[in-house]
Chain A
Amino acid sequence: DIVMTQSPLSLPVTLGQPASFSCRSSQRLVYSDRSTYLSWFQQRPGQSPRRLIYKVSNRDSGVPDRFSGSGSGTDFTLKISRVEAEDVGVYYCMQGTQWPGTFGQGTKLEIK
Chain B
Amino acid sequence: QVQLVESGGGLVKPGGSLRLSCAASGFSFSDYYMSWIRQAPGKGLEWLSYISTMSTYTNYADSVKGRFTISRDNAKNSLFLQMSSLRAEDTAVYYCGRVDFWSGNPPIPRSGMDVWGQGTPVTVSS
Asked if B44 and A92 make an inter-chain contact with CB atoms under 8 angstroms apart, the answer reads yes
Q: Size class of A's contact patch?
A: 20 to 34
Whether A39 and B47, one on each chain, are in contact in the complex, defined by CB atoms closer than 8 angstroms, is no
A94 to B46, CA, bound (A): 10
Task: Identify which of residues 53-103 in chain B touch chain A, using a CB-to-CB cut-off of 8 Å.
Answer: 59, 61-62, 95, 101, 103
Complex interface residues of chain B between 24 and 73 (CB less than 8 A to chain A): 37, 44-47, 59, 61-62
Are B45 and A103 in contact, with the CB atoms below 8 A?
yes
User: Which residues from B are CB-within-8-Å of A35?
Assistant: 110
Known: A48-B118, A92-B44, A94-B112. A33 touches B95 (CB 8 A): no
Is B121 on the interface with A (CB-CB < 8 A)?
Answer: no
Whether B47 and A51, one on each chain, are in contact in the complex, defined by CB atoms closer than 8 angstroms, is no
Q: How far is the CB of A107 from chain B (nearest CB, A)?
A: 11
Q: How far is the CB of A9 from chain B (nearest CB, A)?
A: 11
Contact A54 B44, beta carbon cutoff 8 Å: no
A37 touches B111 (CB 8 A): yes
Q: Does A96 contact B (CB under 8 A)?
A: yes
Interface flags, A43-66, vs B, CB<8A=1, else 0: 000001111001100001000000
B residues within 8 A CB of A67? none
In the complex, what residues of B have CB within 8 A of residue A106's CB?
44
B117 located at the interface, meaning its Cβ lies under 8 Å from any Cβ of chain A in the complex: yes
With A49-B116, A103-B44 given, name 13 new contacts (CB 8 A): A41-B112, A48-B118, A49-B45, A54-B101, A55-B111, A92-B44, A96-B108, A96-B112, A100-B59, A100-B62, A103-B46, A104-B44, A105-B44
Residues of A whose CB lies within 8 Å of any CB of B are 31-33, 35, 37, 39, 41, 48-51, 54-55, 60, 92, 94, 96-97, 99-106
Q: 10 A-B residue contacts at CB 8 Å? A: A31-B103, A32-B104, A37-B111, A41-B45, A51-B114, A94-B47, A96-B108, A97-B110, A99-B59, A103-B46
User: Taking beta carbons and an 8 Å cutoff, which residues of B are in contact with A?
Assistant: 37, 44-47, 59, 61-62, 95, 101, 103-104, 108-114, 116-119
